[in-house]
Amino acid sequence: MNKFLKLPLVAFSALLMGGCGFGKGPQGDLVGAEDRPDFNPQEVPFGMVPCPGGTFHMGQTDQDISASMVNMNKQVTIAGFYMDETEITNNEYRQFMNAIRQDSIDVLGEEYVMTELYPDTTVWVRDFTYHMGDPLMEYYYTHPAFDDYPVVGVDWFAAKYFCNWRTKHKNAANEEAGSAPTPNFRLPSEAEWEYAARGGRDLATYPWGGPYLRNSKGCMLANFKPGRGDYASDGYAYTSAVGSFFPNDFGLYDMSGNVAEWCDDAYMEASVPVVWDMNPTNPDDNEPRKVVRGGSWKDIAYFLETGTRNFEYQDSARSYIGFRTAMIQIGMGTNRQLN
């Protein structure tokens, strides 16, 4: 006789329901680990905007005037992520420096903090010959008039340290609130940066889409060097306060101009044909050149193009290079609209 016929009807029904996934038994069943932290759908981090994942053509969108042959077109896919709405400002970086000097000066040492992490204000004098940069050296980082201007004089290592601190700072608050830890803040990959700069417009020459540098009213669309010896036609001789120009379609400001931005990747001339076509990146600790994107207040229009590649040495701080951070988007499909 079938063994199931010997079971009471109630027990047999319970066995069927459990086998079909209608309930989780108290013993012997696969129910998942308990006491996991609460995790609600990932919220957009403060000061960031969502960049929904998708596919785009990475590479030059106009003539390669330098004949560098380092950025041929390649179709790649990028998973969803978040990126800072603007470049990191002087005052935001000051919050980081205040925390480091208060909590970590004994561990890191004052010399390391002040020479490696504190913005090098002398870049305003050293970067240019026969240039009266002393007022900016004295006031740019310290005076409240420049609080909302992008921080400069920060090398690649300091930008990476800032990302690590920001992650720990946020997760300390999450732990106190009983929330799950947030993914790491980090520098964007070169591919993420270019995808974000285009704002969903495939093959866009500039973040605003069109091939022109002025809008229909004749106003400049970014802070850069419009012509030889002409730095002020866009309204600013040097940097501008972040968010002074229109954002792109993702809601990101200053993806072209103002200050160029550090990316996480090491620079390699052949990276486009070499790296993978899904979330491409080129981590190489042995390569001192790191990718810099976006062009700056001192650059001509060519360097503002979304497809133009450039680099700087990782230990070099400049008056025209800043950064913004990114964070991976988790718990949702690539092409689904982020909240």
The tokens for 199 are 């704002």
Instruction: Please tell me the predicted confidence (pLDDT) of residue 26.
Output: 61
Higher-confidence residue of 270 and 47: namely 47
Tens digit of pLDDT for each residue in 320-335? 999 999 999 987 554 4
Give the residue-averaged pLDDT of 246-267: 97
Give the total residue count for the chain.
339
| Coarse DSSP helix, strand, coil percentages of the chain, rounded to the nearest 5 percent | 25, 15, 60
The whole-angstrom separation of Cα 20 and Cα 192 is 44
**Pairing state of beta strands 81-84 and 310-313?**
unpaired
Q: Which helix (H) or strand (E) holds 327?
A: strand 326-328
Higher-confidence residue of 181 and 96: namely 96
Higher-confidence residue of 271 and 22: namely 271
146: pLDDT strictly greater than 80: yes
Instruction: Please tell me the predicted confidence (pLDDT) of residue 170.
Output: 96
Question: Of 260, 257, 252, which Cα lies nearest the Cα of 225?
Answer: 257
Across 71-75, 157-161, 189-193, 261-265, least confident range = 71-75
Residues above pLDDT 70, as percent of the chain: 87
4: pLDDT strictly greater than 70: no
Residues above pLDDT 90, as percent of the chain: 72
Domains contained in the chain, CATH given = 48-88+151-328 (3.90.1580.10)
Under the banding of pLDDT at 50, 70 and 90, the label for residue 112 is very high
11: pLDDT strictly greater than 60: no
Tens digit of pLDDT for each residue in 187-235? 999 999 999 999 999 989 999 988 899 998 889 999 999 989 999 999 9
The whole-angstrom separation of Cα 105 and Cα 177 is 27
Position 173, amino acid? A
Instruction: List residues bridging with 291 in a β-sheet.
Output: 311
Instruction: Please tell me the predicted confidence (pLDDT) of residue 90.
Output: 98
Instruction: Please tell me the predicted confidence (pLDDT) of residue 336.
Output: 47
Under the banding of pLDDT at 50, 70 and 90, the label for residue 43 is confident
Question: Of 231, 233, 230, 213, which Cα lies nearest the Cα of 221?
Answer: 213
Instruction: Please tell me the predicted confidence (pLDDT) of residue 31.
Output: 85
Q: 3-state class of 294 per DSSP?
A: coil
Instruction: Please tell me the predicted confidence (pLDDT) of residue 12.
Output: 44
Higher-confidence residue of 41 and 162: namely 162
The whole-angstrom separation of Cα 52 and Cα 79 is 7
- Whether 274 contacts 313, CB under 8 Å: no
Under the banding of pLDDT at 50, 70 and 90, the label for residue 317 is very high
